[in-house]
Amino acid sequence: MATKIPVVLAGATGKTGKEVGRAIAQAQDMELIGAVGHSHVGMALSDLWSEPGLSVVIRGAVDTIDVPYAVLVDFTEPTSAYSRILEATARGWDLVVGTTGFSPLQLDAIHDRVQHQQNGAVLIANFSLGAWIMERLAQDASRYLDQAEVIEAHAATKRDRPSGTAKRMARLLADGWGRSVEDIPVHSIRLPGMVAHQAVIFGSSGQTLTLRHDVHDRSAYAAGVLAAIRRVHEFRGKVVQNLGDVIVPD
């Protein structure tokens, strides 16, 4: 049997990390060999996820996980994720990052590091298939309609605003129209009961066109994350930010 891909998961206690972590643990071609967290250091995933048989214990940092190679999967928050990414790349690990909210300076530094160290890296603001399809539909609509606003809504606990997904949508529209990204208004809603929702409303004389995507539960991200883990080693020295580059065969 082929060697399994070793995976270290940061954010295993979080809403998204827990969902993608379970999918990783169930994947036949992957092995969850480590987990990193903040407030549950020392606890076993079997207890945290109520999944008997998972002996992985939450560690405080990746440098306590003594393996030559792993794919770091990160769904945490940008400050700690940034340090963890630098640590993982220095060790020759590959990256699958879902954490959002990095500053432009941090993103530039991650690109430089990955290029210099020749790591594989996938850093995608939204791993759901629907969000990627929506980007393509919006880009298509923007060829015919030249005014739009983006509305995103997330759980009240989400730290960054606007969401990484909405920032990317505004950037894609602005680039297509040859305008500044600041010219595309983005509205953010943070309320209990929300999971992850986005609409792009195009306006034209006498009509509007609305594209909308709703994530009802975080299992929506799992397939994209698994695909990225499987392919990340192919992307040496560059940071892949488009889900299509991961899920659509070359």
Ligand X SMILES: NC(=O)c1ccc[n+]([C@@H]2O[C@H](COP(=O)([O-])OP(=O)(O)OC[C@H]3O[C@@H](n4cnc5c(N)ncnc54)[C@H](OP(=O)(O)O)[C@@H]3O)[C@@H](O)[C@H]2O)c1
Select from 143, 141, 159, 163 the least CA-distant residue to 151.
163
Q: Whose structure tokens read 């940008």?
A: 78
- C-beta of 32 vs 36, nearer to ligand X: 36
- Look at residues 186, 190, 154 and name the one whose alpha carbon lies nearest to residue 170: 186
The single-letter DSSP state of residue 162 is S
Cα separation, 38 vs 82, whole angstroms: 14
**Residues lying near ligand X in the complex (CB under 6 A):** 10-11, 13-17, 36-40, 75-77, 80, 98-101, 124-127, 157, 221
For ligand X, the closer CB: 178 or 192: 192
Beta-sheet pairing, 196-204 with 148-154: antiparallel
- Min CB(49)–ligand X separation in Å: 12
CB of 203 to ligand X, least distance (A): 28
Measure the CA–CA gap between 140 and 153, rounded to whole angstroms. Answer: 23
Residue 236 DSSP class:
B
To the nearest whole angstrom, how small is the minimum distance from the Cβ of residue 177 to ligand X? 25
Q: How far is the CB of 82 from ligand X (least distance, A)?
A: 10
Which residue's C-beta sits nearest to ligand X?
14
Q: Which is nearer to ligand X, 54 or 124 (CB)?
A: 124
The two tokens of residue 189 are 């809603």
| Residue among 154, 167, 216, 238 flagged as catalytic | 154
Among residues 97 and 200, whose Cβ is nearest to ligand X? 97
Looking at 4, 40, 158, 233, which residue is catalytic?
158
- Residues 126/164, Cβ–Cβ less than 8 Å: yes
CB of 147 to ligand X, least distance (A): 28
For this structure, is 154 an active site residue?
Answer: yes
Which residue, 113 or 158, has its beta carbon nearer to ligand X? 158
Q: Is the peptide bond before 78 cis (omega within 30 degrees of 0)?
A: no
Catalytic residues: 154, 158
